[in-house]
A and B are shown apart, each in its own frame.
Chain A
Amino acid sequence: MIGYIFRRILATVPVMGVVALFVFLMLRLSPGDPAAVIAGDYATAEDIIRIREQLGLNEPIVVQFVTWIGSLLQGDLGISIFTNLPVTTLIGQRLEPTISLTLTTIIFTVVVAVPLGTLAAWKSGSLIDRFVMLFSVGGFSVPVFVLGYIMIYVISMELRWLPVQGYKSIFDGVWPFVRHIILPTLTLSVIFIALVSRMTRASVMEVLQEDYVRTARAKGQSELKVLLRHALRNAAVPIVTVIGLGIALLIGGVVVTESVYNIPGLGRLVLDAILKRDYPIIQGLILLFSFVYILINLLIDLSYCFFDPRIRY
């Protein structure tokens, strides 16, 4: 068991290495002079030289990689070209809104999608089942930002129930926080709910075919107990897996949602950095998001032992 955990943690190292190498090479192997690209169309020759110095682009590529990995391992993501602040500081300033938004989205998704999917599987072929399937196909077809604007238009502009845009920290009061986070959470959740409810439906449906479910019903267990204790518990592994894989979808959605609702989070940071071609920030955020994704999926892999005691490595 401990051996397995150790091996599984060790297995993430090469994956993280590949991500780091890829992010590193992306700038160096891009066509043209990266310093000139970053400096933009109106840069002077001095700007380009300064950026080249700052990124260490004059060194041999192997030296660059070793220096870069070295500082990365010490938690140093470099210095932003335009603000001259360390990237880690900039990330720290923008971390809270993004964490709030992703957490509320994940919680809302699980609370809505798992019961919905279970219900659809239980009443397979019924109206609710059709609705869930329709919703899940539809959820994958509407772009996040269009949904965002529809919600702003209907709920904020026509009905005037909630603020149009912006973000309030939870530390400045719970009520303003809730009022501002509702629409972004709803927007971001749609595609995630589509994904999770679909997977819940499929895996609960499979479990409901099992002999032990028939046995449980035959010995007179209530349907609720059958669904919760027998079906859902056994269907948990694929559901939890898809939640983990869906984090990638969520990260892409966060960037867009923050832009639609004007939320000063990491998504806005990366978009602003891209428009200014502030490469150290782009690099740092891609690394951060990828590592978070890898870590979450590591934790989920490890959680299988908890959800399914049959799994013993």
Chain B
Amino acid sequence: MTDTPTSSGKTDELLAVPPSSASDPNLAVLLWRHPSIFWGGILLSIMVLIAIFGPLFTGDPIELNPIKRLKPPSGESWFGTDYLGRDTFARVIYGARVSLVVGLAVSIIAVSIGLVVGMVSGYIRALDAVIMRVMDGLMSIPGILLAIALISLSGATMMTVVTAIMIPEIPRVVRLVRSVVLSVREEPYVEAAIASGTKLHLVLIRHILPNTIAPLIVLATYICGSAMLTESILGFIGAGIPPEIPSWGNIMSEGRTYFQLSPWIIFYPGIALAITVLAVNVVGDGLRDTLDPRIARKM
């Protein structure tokens, strides 16, 4: 996109006083001043604990029980049962693992790849134009369609689903890293490092990389949230993780046919997914405000 001049330029940024908590090393004070990180973090921790230990306490998520088909929620099966009599509660609890693993894997891989490509693009002028045109092109392909097409061509496994969700996220990371690199590379300390004969890779790692970390942490949380949503959408339309794995998207996909009879098969995993993504996004918003108010402009 074309950068547009706005009248609020440098002066506003100079006048704005950043919250002092950004430099405050005390974690408790930080959490108290930013309740969104606190509450989002608590919610997210609960979901992570459920994902890790939950399946140990619930029943078997794939155990069939034909007598108890499509039973509504009750004391015995809290979230009801599906068309094969499987316990929806056990399946939803197990699904937390799939969602969180996909979210985490996608954000880590996308950020790592984007970081390298973005640094190269921002620092090596000769490659910049080519890389950015490729990123523009990749960005204009609707992410979900691209993911669906990639999966339908390479077969649905956990691996291909993570790859397919990750690829459309890369341009966002590259653009962010590149914009940071472009502004940092003109700083006197970078010039000084170059003038004193520091090797290129050391300049990149020691002087430029640290500047990208704060905005990347924030972006990684957003990518994690959107990856979990995309995973569920892929599962829902039947192009995601293999159907025998109880991911939230797969549970909801199977619930479609019986929706008018047994809406709980869609609602409970939907609620679990919404809570998890909400927690991730709230933490992301909190981190964005805490780490650097100026990041907000770039997101």
A residues lining the B interface (CB < 8 Å): 8, 14-19, 21-23, 26-27, 30-31, 34, 37, 137-138, 140-146, 149-150, 152-153, 157, 202, 206, 209-210, 234, 237, 241, 245, 248, 251-252, 255-256, 259, 270-271, 274-275, 277, 279, 282, 285-286, 289-290, 293-294, 297, 301, 304, 308, 310-311
Contacts and interface: CB of A to CB of B under 8 A. Distances in A.
14 contacts: A19-B141, A22-B141, A138-B274, A140-B226, A140-B281, A143-B274, A145-B252, A150-B270, A153-B267, A241-B1, A252-B142, A271-B237, A274-B152, A293-B142
Interface stretch (B2-10, B49-57, B71-79): B2-10
A251 B8 contact: no
B229 interface: yes
A55 to B, nearest CB: 13
A248 B252 CA distance: 24
B142 A282 contact: no
Interface in B115-148: 133-134, 136-146, 148
Contacts of A282: 148-149, 152
A311 B134 contact: no
B176 interface: no
Contacts of A27: 153
B154 interface: yes
B150 interface: yes
Interface residues of B, number: 53
Given A18-B137, A301-B2, A137 B145 contact: no
Contacts of B260: 157
Contacts of A141: 225, 229, 274-275, 277-278, 281
Nearest to A279: B153
B62 to A, nearest CB: 23
Contact of A255 (B133, B144, B226): B144
A277 B266 CA distance: 27
Contacts of B252: 145-146
A308 B153 contact: no
A15 B140 contact: yes
A311 B133 contact: no
Contacts of A245: 1
A256 B145 contact: no
Given A14-B137, A15-B136, A255-B145, 10 more contacts: A18-B138, A19-B140, A141-B229, A146-B267, A149-B259, A209-B12, A286-B145, A286-B149, A289-B145, A297-B140
A274 B148 contact: yes
A65 to B, nearest CB: 15
Given A19-B137, A294-B140, A301-B1, A143 B233 contact: yes
Contacts of A289: 141-142, 145
B142 A137 contact: no
A234 B4 CA distance: 12
Contacts of A15: 133, 136-137, 140
A290 B190 CA distance: 39
Contacts of B232: 143
B140 A248 contact: yes
Interface string B235-273: 011110000000000001000000110010011001001
B1 A286 contact: no
B169 interface: no
A206 B281 CA distance: 23
B87 interface: no
Given A143-B236, A143-B273, A145-B236, A37 B138 contact: no
A18 B133 contact: yes
Contact of B154 (A16, A30, A149): A30
Given A22-B141, A286-B141, A255 B277 contact: no
Nearest to B129: A14
A254 to B, nearest CB: 9
A285 B149 CA distance: 11
